[in-house]
Amino acid sequence: MLSKNDYEIINNSIRDIKDFPKEGIVFKDITTLLNDATAYTTLMNHLEEKYKDYNLDYIAGIDARGFIFGASLATKLGLGFVPVRKKGKLPSTTISEKYTLEYGFDEVEIHIDAFKNTTDARVLLIDDLIATGGTANAAVTLIEKSGAKCVESCFIIALDFLDGKSKLEQKCPVYNIIGVD
């Protein structure tokens, strides 16, 4: 359980940038969390404590900020890390999943042997933020296509005023630390 003090340390370390990337949007900047050793350590210790008894086999992180949290957590838990990358960024044979954007489509990939060709590998998916959920839903689909099971998705921030979290909860449990109304 995250204490109120630890929540405040993490939450207060995230900077709001108004009108980025366009007018009317308040961007949640996690770079200030990353360069605050106390806040980052507090976050990673909390995630380690939360997930240490989940009997996970892998942590999968979404390109690119999910790599930061996912690789750190995988190291703390003694697990392998699997990158979920944008199309064309992985060097070996991949499987991919398309998802819808506001104007068009995008695609994410994992290596076909990302989970070492095991079946039923238990995977935690992690990223910094969930908004509309398109990328996260595609990532969970990729994990399942590979024969693994996404036991939970974890986000530092959830934009609760969008429907991404509720959409993703139809596929797997979702945990977030900070909710933004």
Q: How confident is the model at residue 175 (pLDDT cuts 50, 70, 90)?
A: very high
So what's the pLDDT on residue 117?
A: 76
Residue 102, pLDDT above cutoff 80? no
Interatomic CA distance for residues 156 and 115, integer angstroms: 24
3-class state of residue 156 by DSSP: strand
Residue in the structure block whose two tokens are 């996260």: 136
Closest CA to 10 of 69, 82, 84: 69
* Structural tokens at position 87: 């199309």
Which amino acid is residue 60, in one-letter code?
A
Q: Are 32 and 16 in contact (CB under 8 A)?
A: no
Predicted local distance difference test score (pLDDT) of residue 118: 81
Residue 149's SS3 state is strand
Question: What percent of the chain is modeled with pLDDT above 70?
Answer: 100
Residue 103 has pLDDT above 80, yes or no: no
Q: Which residues are catalytic?
A: 65, 102
Length of the chain: 181
In Å, what is the CA distance from 4 to each residue of 10, 101, 178?
10, 36, 12
β-pair type (80-86, 94-101): unpaired
pLDDT at 84: 98
pLDDT value at residue 101? 80
Reduced to 3 states (helix: H, G, I; strand: E, B; else coil), residue 114 is coil
What was the pLDDT predicted at 92? 97
Mean pLDDT of all residues in 19-36: 96
The string of pLDDT tens digits covering residues 123-137 is 999 999 999 999 999
Q: Write down the pLDDT at residue 71.
A: 98
Give me the pLDDT at residue 168, please. 98
Note the pLDDT of residue 104: 82
Residues 163-181 have a mean pLDDT of 97
Domain ranges of the chain: 53-180
Q: Stretch 135-153: mean pLDDT, rounded?
A: 97
CATH code of the domain occupying 53-180: 3.40.50.2020
Tell me what the mean pLDDT of segment 66-70 comes to.
98
Angle between helices 37-51 and 4-12 (to 10 degrees): 130
Mean pLDDT of the chain: 96
Question: What's the whole-number mean pLDDT along residues 169-175?
Answer: 98
Instruction: Give the single-character DSSP code of 6.
Output: H
- The pairing of strands 104-111 and 80-86 is antiparallel
Q: What gap in Å lies between CA 47 and CA 30, rounded to an integer?
A: 16
